[in-house]
């Protein structure tokens, strides 16, 4: 099945069941009002890549460079913990120049809510500045992880 691409279409709410090779099952309740493209996900079968009527991907990539006292204060651990409450994937890592780089992919609304939640979780006091960049998702991540 490598290289297979499948599509699902519909106009009402559906429960979508995704089962991994390891037997894990994830059920997603999605309102399907547009074309959905299923992408091959290593170790987890097919996953949805949601596309609108013009075939533009709704998943976005958010890259944020945080400046300030952001290393040595639990910033990465807090970000990983907060990420579990959102439908997104990505990574966070310390940079040699003292900044922290966050790269996350998901729906834009989820990503914006995630950024707000990071500040609300007590990290706002450590952040002096943020450099934010938006681009199309590359679907390169599985989960959210701390890069060392």
Catalytic residues: 76, 94
All residues at 6 or more sequence positions from 132 whose CB lies less than 8 Å from its CB, including other chains: 62, 63, 64
Token pair recorded at residue 120 = 């609300």
Closest among 94, 100, 95, 105 to 142, alpha carbons compared: 105
Asked whether the beta carbons of 142 and 89 are under 8 A apart, the reply is yes
Asked whether the beta carbons of 124 and 117 are under 8 A apart, the reply is no
* Residue in this structure with the two tokens 């400046």, named with its chain if needed: 67
């Amino acid at each position: 099945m490598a290289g297979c691409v499948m599509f699902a279409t519909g106009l009402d709410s559906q429960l979508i069941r995704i089962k991994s090779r390891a037997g894990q099952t994830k059920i997603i309740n999605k309102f399907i009002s547009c074309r959905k493209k299923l992408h091959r996900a290593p170790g987890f079968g097919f996953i949805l890549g949601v596309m609108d009527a013009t075939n533009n991907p709704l998943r976005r990539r958010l890259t944020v460079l945080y400046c300030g006292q952001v290393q040595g204060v639990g910033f990465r651990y807090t970000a990983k913990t907060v990420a579990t409450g959102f439908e997104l994937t990505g990574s966070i890592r310390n940079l040699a120049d003292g900044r922290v780089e966050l790269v996350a992919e998901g729906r834009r609304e989820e990503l914006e809510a995630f950024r707000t939640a990071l500040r609300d979780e007590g990290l706002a006091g450590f952040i002096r500045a943020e450099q934010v960049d938006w681009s199309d998702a590359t679907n390169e991540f599985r989960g959210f992880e701390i890069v060392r």
